């Protein structure tokens, strides 16, 4: 029994691994994680700002700090997600100057 692979089999395996690597790189892009967390926490803090009592606002010297912080977090999270959409990750081997393809 020989474990020799043809050139076609090797190229197919390499192609499959590159596809999986590209998918993993795009899935775990740090901008997606940071943006998603800021959006989720921004929604939670904004809701807390909408439901703040007068005592809570008085503690912050008349500023609804939860509302403003929540809106800021939402904007930052949306910025990260827009950045991800507008400038997606270039997988290794597909960038300028590479000899792939």
Nearest to 74 by CA among 41, 42, 50, 34: 42
Mean pLDDT, the chain, rounded, equals: 81
Question: What's the pTM?
Answer: 0.65
Distance CA 55, CA 21 (A): 52
Distance CA 13, CA 48 (A): 51
The pLDDT score that the predictor gives to residue 9 is 75
Residue 1 pLDDT more than 50? Answer: no
């395996």: which residue's tokens? Answer: 13
């Amino acid at each position: 029994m020989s474990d020799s692979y043809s050139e076609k089999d090797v190229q197919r395996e390499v192609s499959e691994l590159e596809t999986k690597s590209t998918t993993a790189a795009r899935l775990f892009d740090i901008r997606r994680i940071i943006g998603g967390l800021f959006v989720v926490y921004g929604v939670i803090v904004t809701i807390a700002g909408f439901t703040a009592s007068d005592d809570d606002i008085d503690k912050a010297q008349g500023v609804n700090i939860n509302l403003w912080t929540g809106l800021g977090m939402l904007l930052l999270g949306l910025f990260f997600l827009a950045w991800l959409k507008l400038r997606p990750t270039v997988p290794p081997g597909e960038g300028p100057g590479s000899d792939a393809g």
